[in-house]
Chains A and B, each alone.
Chain A
Amino acid sequence: MSPILSTHGLGRTFRTKGGPLHALTDVTLDCDPGRSLGVVGESGCGKTTLNRLILMLDTPTAGEVRFKDKPLAQLTTNERKAYRRAVQPVFQNPYSSLNPRLRVRKIIREPLAANTTMSRAQIDARVDEVLEAVGLSSRDADRLPAEFSGGQRQRIAIARALASKPELMLLDEPVSSQDISIRAQILNVLKDLRDEYGLATLFVSHDLATVRFMCDEVVVIYLGRIVERGPANVICSAPRHPYTQALLAATLSADPDAPEMATRPQGEIPSPLAPPSGCPYHTRCPHAHDLCKAQRPQAQPAEGGGTVACHLVEQGGW
Chain B
Amino acid sequence: MIQKVTFYAALGLLAMFVLVALLGPYLIEHDPLRGSLRARLEPPLWAGGTMEYPLGTDRLGRDMVARMVTGARISLTVCVVVIAIAGSIGTAIGTLSGYVGGWLDRVLMRLVDLALSLPVILLALLIGAVSGPSFGNIVLVISLVLWSQYARMSRGETLRVKNEDYVDLARTSGLGHAAIIFRHILPNIAPSLIVVATLQVGVVIVLEASLSFLGVGVPPPNPSWGSMVADGRSYVVTAWWVSLFPGIAILLVVMAVNIVGDTLTDRINPALRGRTA
Contacts and interface: CB of A to CB of B under 8 A. Distances in A.
Contacts of B173: 84, 110-111, 114-115
A107 B165 CA distance: 13
A96 interface: yes
Interface string B233-261: 00000000000000000000000000000
Interface residues of B, number: 15
A80 B173 CA distance: 10
B119 interface: no
Contacts of B165: 91, 93, 96-97
Interface stretch (B6-14, B99-107, B183-191, B195-203): B183-191
A9 interface: no
Interface stretch (A10-18, A98-106, A283-291): A98-106
Contacts of A111: 173
Interface string A104-140: 0001001100110000000000000000000000000
Interface in B85-139: none
Interface in A27-77: 52, 55-57
A102 B183 CA distance: 9
Contacts of A91: 165, 168-169
A115 B174 contact: yes
A55 B170 contact: no
A230 interface: no
B172 A98 contact: no
> Chain B at the A interface: mostly helix, strand, loop or mixed?
helix
B15 interface: no
B16 interface: no
B171 interface: yes
Contacts, number: 49
A96 B174 contact: no
Interface string B163-179: 01110111111110000
B188 A84 contact: no
Contacts of A110: 169-170, 173, 175
Contact of A89 (B169, B175, B183): B169
Nearest to A91: B165
Contacts of B187: 99, 101
B166 A98 contact: yes
A56 B175 CA distance: 13
A115 B173 CA distance: 7
Interface in B151-168: 164-166, 168
B168 to A, nearest CB: 6
Nearest to A77: B174
Interface string A78-102: 0011001000010101001111111
Contacts of B169: 89, 91, 97, 110, 160
Nearest to A110: B173
Contact of B172 (A56, A100, A101): A56
A80 B174 contact: yes
Nearest to A88: B172
Given A55-B171, A97-B164, 19 more contacts: A52-B168, A55-B168, A57-B171, A57-B172, A80-B174, A91-B165, A91-B168, A96-B166, A99-B164, A99-B183, A99-B187, A101-B187, A101-B188, A107-B166, A110-B170, A110-B175, A114-B173, A114-B174, A160-B169
Interface pairs A-B: 7 shortest CB-CB: A97-B165, A101-B187, A111-B173, A96-B165, A99-B166, A91-B165, A55-B172
Interface of A: 52, 55-57, 80-81, 84, 89, 91, 93, 96-102, 107, 110-111, 114-115, 160
Interface of B: 164-166, 168-175, 183-184, 187-188
28 contacts: A55-B168, A55-B172, A57-B168, A80-B174, A84-B172, A84-B174, A89-B172, A91-B165, A93-B165, A96-B166, A97-B166, A97-B169, A98-B166, A99-B164, A99-B166, A99-B184, A99-B187, A100-B188, A102-B183, A107-B166, A110-B169, A110-B170, A110-B175, A111-B173, A114-B173, A114-B175, A115-B173, A160-B169
